[in-house]
Structure 1
Amino acid sequence: MTAQDSATPITPIAVSSGTLLAALGVIAFSLTFPSTVWGLESFGPWSLVALRSVLAALIAGGFLLVMRVPLPGRRHWAGLAVVAGGVVVGFPLLTTLALRTSTTSHAAVVVGLLPLTTAAFAAVRTGRRPSRTFWLTALGGAAVVIAFTVQQSGGALQTGDLYLFGALLVCAAGYTEGGRLARQMPGWQVVGWALMLCLPIALAGSALALTFEPVRLTAHGVIGLLWVAAGSTFFGLYVWYRGMASIGIAKASQLQLAQPLLTLVWSVSLLDERLSPAAPVAAVAVLVCIAVTQRAKS
């Protein structure tokens, strides 16, 4: 996620509260995959994604209404459509489809490449030219993830891997466009309007998906749905953008380095998954690559 750094002086109290908010966002995001797996106990993949969008949009719509936020200008809607397609629809749908066959630990390592993918999209979108160190390290991180994926998949990419790589691309596009819009309106409003833009489609999709996909309500399934809607999609994005506004992009990005490793912890503690020895090694390698790109001159 990106947001505009604050132009006003940052006090120690603002730094502390901003760091806490950004850290809460990272924790919320790290629980997305385990919550999705829980949600799939009760709902089909299409139903889960559609209901997730509906619930998150209703929450966001309530906030927009109570705070009397005016409609975005006409020039913003094309960008909001990209955010909606990438962050609200594309990433949740593709990762949910992937998690039917992939473990959360496997998905966490692959999607751990998202900050690098987003940086590459941003470089193309803004016309900036990052340093050679940046690109070499980004390619190194990509190579680590591809090698891990092929090794875990028995020598060839599986359907779930293709979903995950597709999710990286569409989410990076959505994050990049969201970062551009966040310079013109508060970041949480970018997400809120993107959710509202998807609400009619999500309502229709929910009605259609629930007709064809069976529902078997369980405690895990309901908790998983509620978390990916209210926790990951709304609360996580809200506190993340607020935190970045307080402490700046660079410091907040350093906190996000912990996200794949946190997801590995949740996959073991909440889902009783067994980690392959390669998973934490690959996650740390990607973390190192991202840390290097953070410090490379752009």
Structure 2
Amino acid sequence: MKTSSPPSLDTRPLLGMAWGLLGVMTFSAGLPATRIAVQEMPALFVGAGRAGLGGVLALLLLAATRQSLPSGHQWARLAVVAAGVVFGFPILSSLALETVSATHSVLVTALLPLCTALAGAWLHRHRPKPVFWLCALAGTALVLLYAGQQAQGHWQLADLWLLLACVLCGLGYAEGARLTRELGSWQVICWALVLSLPLLAPLIWLSRPEPALTSPAGWLSFLYLGSCSMFLGFFFWYKGLALGGVTQVSQVQLLQPFGALWFAALLLGEPVSAQAIWICLAVVACVALGRRYA
């Protein structure tokens, strides 16, 4: 008599969450590492240079795997991705981190998932429910109140750079998500980086620092930003989404601000106050609820 074997356990969702968490932790160290780098290098070099390094790695990978060139229409959409992910967030956040702490920047950029959801709704011509707008307004109000309090009632130019970085990056993420159906997941960020190289090269050259005036910690932070935060982290993230599903694994992104606060304390010794943690929890709650109704 033939006995039935027990059903096999599908480990893909668990593996997807693990890969997604690894990607989030890789991205989480980005703002603290940027703060270290901009203390010794020009902010423009840090923002453009990290993307340039990622672009060189992307070019080598695309050539090695013999990827087909995108179509003309896809190049135009990749330019939107590049404007947000390659230029907007890296350069604007680097400019902001010249004058504000990594902890401060983490709380302001916690609005990024909401910006991504809003951009996705706009691109898909969806109308978010009123609950989404309430959550967006509540989260934004919390961030602005915190930023104003830190600056003694006057918002800093750095806060404008960080908010604009979130808006542009959200648009780049949303357009990139649409393009993944046509080009593949990791191919989108790679082509966006390669497309940006001709514009990045003169920016990098004109803003290059004096190597002798930069410490090993500064260069290590820069190398991490270009190779991991700008390149390798996307592979972890997209592999997790592919294995575990976008809906489930994308929720891991809500842990990113807390990971960034931990890295800010570990790498920079920045104190993380109870107020910062409570504001971060409140903003993440607004983001989680708002994305559900986007």
Which range, TM-score by smaller chain? over 0.9
Q: Partner of 2:262 in structure 1?
A: 265
- Secondary structure of 1:270's aligned partner: helix
Output the aligned Cα RMSD. Answer: 1.4
Task: Map 1:117-156 to 2 at 5 A.
Answer: 117-156=115-154
Q: Partner of 1:242 in structure 2?
A: 239
CA distance in 2, matches of 1:173, 1:25: 20
CA distance in 1, matches of 2:132, 2:46: 37
Residue 115 of structure 2 aligns to which amino acid in structure 1?
T
- Secondary structure of 1:258's aligned partner: helix
Q: Partner of 1:230 in structure 2?
A: 227
- Contact (CA 8 Å) 1:148, 1:278: kept in 2 or not? no
- Contact (CA 8 Å) 1:88, 1:195: kept in 2 or not? yes
Shift of 1:276: 3.7
- Secondary structure of 1:233's aligned partner: helix
- Contact (CA 8 Å) 1:83, 1:173: kept in 2 or not? yes
Q: Partner of 2:49 in structure 1?
A: 51
- Contact (CA 8 Å) 2:48, 2:90: kept in 1 or not? no
Residue 232 of structure 2 aligns to which amino acid in structure 1?
F
CA distance in 1, matches of 2:292, 2:199: 41
Tell me, which stretches of 5 or more residues in structure 2 are unaligned?
Answer: 1-8
Shift of 1:75: 1.3
Q: Partner of 1:71 in structure 2?
A: 69
1:226-261 Cα distance to aligned partner (Å, 9 max, x none):
111011010111211121122222212210111011
CA distance in 2, matches of 1:133, 1:109: 22
Residue 164 of structure 1 aligns to which amino acid in structure 2?
L
- Secondary structure of 2:152's aligned partner: coil
Number of residues of Structure 1 aligned to a counterpart in Structure 2: 285
Larger radius of gyration: 2
Residue 173 of structure 1 aligns to which amino acid in structure 2?
L
Shift of 1:146: 1.3
Of 28, 31, 36, the residue aligned with 2:29 is: 31
Of 281, 286, 291, the residue aligned with 2:288 is: 291
1:46-103 Cα distance to aligned partner (Å, 9 max, x none):
1122221221111111111111101011110111001111100111000000001111
Q: Partner of 1:91 in structure 2?
A: 89
- Contact (CA 8 Å) 1:41, 1:218: kept in 2 or not? no
Shift of 1:151: 1.3
Q: Partner of 1:8 in structure 2?
A: none
Shift of 1:284: 0.4
CA distance in 1, matches of 2:40, 2:148: 31
Tell me, which stretches of 5 or more residues in structure 1 are unaligned?
Answer: 1-10
Calculate the TM-score normalised by the size of structure 1: 0.92
Residue 268 of structure 2 aligns to which amino acid in structure 1?
L
Bigger mean CA deviation after superposition, 225-234 or 200-209: 200-209
Shift of 1:34: 1.0
CA distance in 1, matches of 2:88, 2:287: 23
- Secondary structure of 2:66's aligned partner: coil
- Contact (CA 8 Å) 1:44, 1:214: kept in 2 or not? no
- Contact (CA 8 Å) 1:42, 1:222: kept in 2 or not? no
CA distance in 2, matches of 1:267, 1:188: 28
Q: 4+ runs of 1 displaced by more than 6 Å?
A: none
- Contact (CA 8 Å) 1:149, 1:161: kept in 2 or not? yes
Residue 267 of structure 1 aligns to which amino acid in structure 2?
A
Shift of 1:174: 0.8
- Contact (CA 8 Å) 1:34, 1:104: kept in 2 or not? yes
Calculate the TM-score normalised by the size of structure 2: 0.93
CA distance in 2, matches of 1:81, 1:205: 17
CA distance in 2, matches of 1:51, 1:151: 33
Q: Partner of 2:165 in structure 1?
A: 167
Shift of 1:40: 2.0
CA distance in 2, matches of 1:223, 1:88: 20
Bigger mean CA deviation after superposition, 197-206 or 222-231: 197-206
Identity percentage over the alignment? 37
Q: Partner of 1:104 in structure 2?
A: 102
- Contact (CA 8 Å) 1:104, 1:267: kept in 2 or not? yes
CA distance in 2, matches of 1:273, 1:169: 26
Shift of 1:17: 2.1
